[in-house]
Amino acid sequence: MKILVINCGSSSIKYKLYEFPQKTLITKGLIEKIGEKNSPMRDHGHGVSALLTRLIKEKAIESLDEISAVGHRVVHGGETFRQPSIIDKKVLKKITECSKLAPLHNPANLAGILACKKNMPSVVQIAVFDTAFHQTIPQYAYTYAIPLKYYKKYAIRKYGFHGTSHQFVALEASRILNKPLETLKLITCHLGNGCSITAIDKGKSIDTSMGFTPLEGLMMGTRCGDIDVAAVFNIMENENLSLKDIDTILNKKSGLLGVSGISNDIRLIKQGAKDGDSRARLALEMFIYRIKKYIGAYQFILGGADAVCVTAGIGENNPDIVEEIRKSVYALSGDKTKVLIISTDEELMIASLSHELISSPV
C-alpha cells in the first residue's frame, strides 16, 4: 500500500510517498512559496492540489485511489495526544485547541490536513505529533518551578519536540546494537538547525532538552537555548524592547549566529574558527560544551547509557564534533557506552506509525 507523508510549514509542503510494508521511498519533493506574493500557490489547498497532480504526472501513482493513508506531521499535540491519531472531527478540534501552544506551526499543519481531506475525502488521514513521544516524561521532570496555577491555567510545562526523530533513532540504535529497545538506556542527540537531546529508558522518553517551546535547552543555529530569564528582562528594559522584539532576538538572532556574528551554519562557524575568528571559536566551544553537559546529566539520571546516538544535519556530517562527544563519553564510561552516528528519517517514522495504526485491529 502507498502512504503519503506531508510536512506542512507556513509557506512550504514537504512530502514523501512510500510503499508499505516494504518501506521503500517512491518519490519525494517540496512545494514552495505558498501564500507568497505573485505565487500560483495561493494557499495550502493549492499546494496540496499541485502536489497530487505532480504525483500523477511523475507516474508515482496512476490515481489518488492508490494512496491508502496520509500521515501528517503535527508539531504540537499538547497533553492530549500521546500517540498518533486517525483524524476525525474530534481530533481536528483538539489539534485546533493545541494551536494556542504552537501558534506558528499547528495552523499550517491544520491547513495541510484540511486540504488533503478536501482533495482525498475517502483517504484516511493520520496525525503524528512531534510532542507525543515525550508524553512519558514524569511530572517532576516536565513541571517548571513557577506557581503551579500557570500549569493549570495555561498548560505551561515542558513538552519537548523532535519526538519522531528521537523515536526513529532509538529504534535504529536497538537494531544496530541488536538488543530489544526495552532493555536499553539511550541518549539521542538531534543536532540540526534546531537541536535537542533526549534521555530514553526502555524505549520511553524520560527527559528532553527542549521545553514549553523549542527555545529551551541546547544552543542552536539561531535559538539561544537555556538562559537566565532575568537576563531577558534586563535586555528588554535596557533596549526598550517589545515582547515580539525579544522573541525574534532569542529565536532568530541568537545561538551560533548571535555569538559568532557569522552564520547559523556550523560549516561556516568551523571555517571561521579555523581562520582564527575568536567569536566563531567561542560559538563552537559553547555549542559542544552544552551538548556534553546535557549528555552528562542524562547519563546520570539514566544511571548510565548503552549508547549516545547523534543525528540530523550537524550530527550526521561533522565527525570532528562527534569525536569531541565520544572523547568525553569514553572518559566517563569507557567502552560501556557506544557513540553512534545514525541518519534520522522523520518522514519514514511518520509513515511507519501511520501504517501501524491503520494495520492494527480495531
For ligand ADP, the closer of residues 101 and 312 by Cβ is: 312
Catalytic residue check, 130: yes
For ligand ADP, the closer of residues 87 and 314 by Cβ is: 314
Rounded to the nearest whole angstrom, what is the least distance from the CB of residue 5 to ligand ADP in the complex? 15
Could you list the residues that contact ligand ADP (CB under 6 A)?
192-194, 221, 264-267, 312-314, 317-318
Rounded to the nearest whole angstrom, what is the least distance from the CB of residue 265 to ligand ADP in the complex? 4
C-beta separation of 229 from 163 below 8 A: no
Among left, alpha and beta (phi > 0; psi -120 to 50; other), residue 138 is: beta
In what helix (H) or strand (E) does residue 310 lie, and over which residues does it extend? Answer: strand 307-311
Rounded to the nearest whole angstrom, what is the least distance from the CB of residue 346 to ligand ADP in the complex? 9
Using CA atoms, how far residue 125 sits from 67, 88, 187, 246, 355, in Å, is 11, 8, 32, 37, 11
For ligand ADP, the closer of residues 216 and 306 by Cβ is: 216
For ligand ADP, the closer of residues 218 and 302 by Cβ is: 218
Rounded to the nearest whole angstrom, what is the least distance from the CB of residue 314 to ligand ADP in the complex? 4
Q: Which residues of 302-339 are buried (b: 16+ CB within 10 A; e: fewer)?
A: beebbbbbbbbbbbbebeebbebbbebbeeeeeeebbb
Provide the 3-class DSSP secondary structure of residue 125.
strand
List 65, 130, 207, 228, catalytic entry: 130
Using CA atoms, how far residue 178 sits from 168, 171, 296, in Å, is 15, 10, 25
First to last CA, the chain: 19
Q: Which residue is nearest to ligand ADP (CB)?
A: 313
- The residues annotated with a catalytic role in the active site are 130
